Chain A
Amino acid sequence: MTQSQTPDGMWLRCDGCGEILYRKALERNFFICMRCGHHFRIFPEQYIKIILDNGLKELDSDLAPSDPLEFPQYREKLAKARSKTGKPDAFSYGKGKISGRPVVFGVMDFRFIGGSMGSVVGEKIARSIRLARNKRLPLIIVSTSGGARMHEGMFSLMQMAKTAAELGLLRQAHIPYISIPVDPCTGGVMASFASLGDIIISEPGALLGFAGPRVIENTIGEKLPKGFQRAEFLLKHGFLDMVVSRRDLKETLTRILSILWPQKQDESGTL
């Protein structure tokens, strides 16, 4: 784990309670504030570490975006995001194991242009779904995104339909898909694959919704109440199965998979 991939510095201030926390201790605690339980935003590297047994065997890691609209400042933005994350775009996927069970696992990176979905993210999500269907492996995707990527115009919007369509086929094949939208997840990602899990799990305090809170405030002309669009709010309104502490995430996934998908090995034999 490099410095640039997590909140920087030896000491970090908690956004929840203002407490100053020692970074190493925080890391040992899944980046959950020891005092108030606030879940810090974490990135793909940490999710892979927390959820998978022995890391991710990544696929299509070289799939890279282009600039079909020749959109102002897009190439510069991509270059910057790439140097920040070391990745060509905002989604990684591949095979991995959860408590010994093989799965297809995917995770978004909010640092990469706000985790926005353009052609590459959409294509790789679609491929991860197809892989799960072809190999008959459960699919788990951790989503965090501001929505469709404006800079690729309609190519981005269509990725919503593309990913949802693939999930239609996965569903018909009776293979489980567990969606884990985390803070923040809004717009076109929430309005496509992130909302379509057989089971949907989030973390405490995560901001999840269709429209961003500022857009809603501008539309209705008033301030939104505290807790609006937070994970607990979605749970109350029936749009999440559960809100789980990051500490219990792997254990929860393991339990669910042991019931929905009791076979230890995929049907082709080895992973």
Chain B
Amino acid sequence: MPQGWLDFEQPLAELMERIDELTAIGAKEEVKRLREQVKELKSKLYSNLTPWQQVLLARHPRRPYMLDYIERMVTDFVELHGDRAFADDPAIIAGIGKINETGLAIIGHQKGRDTKEKLYRNFGMPHPEGYRKTLRVMKLAVRFGLPILSLIDTPAAYPGVGAEERGQAEAIARNLREMAILPVPIVVVVCGEGGSGGALAVAVGNRVLMQENALFSVISPEGCASILWRDGSKTKEAAEVLKMTASDLLKFGIIDEVVPEPLGGAHQDWDEAAKLLKRAVMANFRKLALKSAEELVKQRISKLASVGVYTR
């Protein structure tokens, strides 16, 4: 069975393996025929995803991560390390670079690809020093007039002993307050998992985008299932009731835009996914460039102020 693919993707994975084999022996006609089949199969497999399948896609082991996008979108990237207080957090990447010759600061989560890197990156779950690093780099951006791009992909802020000792709650809260009043354009894109406060802590922006198969949620489906049904295995039901997909959240007005992915998801074609992401990000920065610092802060805060549903 081909590795790194989801159960429901197996027919596709097998077909792609077959194409590789046939390409190797030069069976051009047959390859061409199979490629047509791939297209058909993709539109069949991915057109009516259940909420749970969306969760699996957002967490797909082959999905591009922050550094994969930086490699494809950003030139002259300089990674910056450390919060100047305690440590450097490898679960968070922060730095400066250029997109289309425009300088910017970039922050976001980084998951690991293999076991060793996963452990090193703590599965993309930041400690307080990670959030403090992002704030340090964002303030650097403000001093040099750089816009900020934030790419979100985390299951959660890390719930551990050291994280509590060093003020996980304070670090997240401070980021939320400071990001709201930074006088430069901020574009946020949820690229994979938007796991609760751990994601939100770097997700306050003038424009908040989500990739087509990304998620943004107040709690994981696992956590919701164990609270609601006292049964951690009822994740499929939980994924449905939480309304955490890009299309749900666009409908609710919680995000501003959905960034398209290649057919079948970003993991099918990293280059194409990066191209689509870059296009969306730059279109938004261009619009924001016309606003004054004061307008940017006002727009960001009034957008937040309008979120909520209540009655009298």
Contacts and interface: CB of A to CB of B under 8 A. Distances in A.
A164 B310 CA distance: 20
B162 to A, nearest CB: 10
A226 interface: no
Chain A CB within 10 Å — which of B157, B169, B243, B305 has the most? B169
A195 B170 contact: yes
B304 A216 contact: no
A254 interface: no
Contact of B305 (A165, A191, A194, A211): A165
Contacts of B219: 148, 150
Contacts, number: 184
A150 B225 CA distance: 11
A154 B161 CA distance: 27
Interface residues of A, number: 61
B299 to A, nearest CB: 12
B161 A191 contact: no
Contacts of A172: 181
A66 B312 CA distance: 10
A155 B308 contact: yes
B249 A162 contact: no
B169 A191 contact: yes
Contact of B244 (A119, A153, A188, A215): A153
Chain B CB within 10 Å — which of A149, A172, A211 has the most? A211
22 contacts: A64-B311, A64-B312, A68-B252, A119-B309, A120-B308, A123-B308, A149-B218, A150-B218, A150-B242, A154-B218, A154-B252, A159-B307, A159-B308, A162-B307, A168-B177, A169-B181, A186-B169, A192-B176, A195-B167, A210-B164, A211-B159, A228-B161
Interface of B: 157-161, 163-170, 172-174, 176-178, 180-181, 196-197, 200-201, 203-204, 216-219, 224, 227-228, 241-244, 249, 252, 254, 300-301, 304-305, 307-312
Interface of A: 62-66, 68-69, 71-73, 119-120, 122-123, 126, 148-150, 152-162, 164-169, 171-172, 186-188, 190-196, 208-211, 215-216, 219-220, 224, 228-229, 237-239
Given A72-B228, A154-B217, 11 more contacts: A64-B310, A68-B252, A119-B309, A155-B308, A161-B200, A165-B177, A165-B180, A166-B301, A195-B167, A210-B197, A237-B167
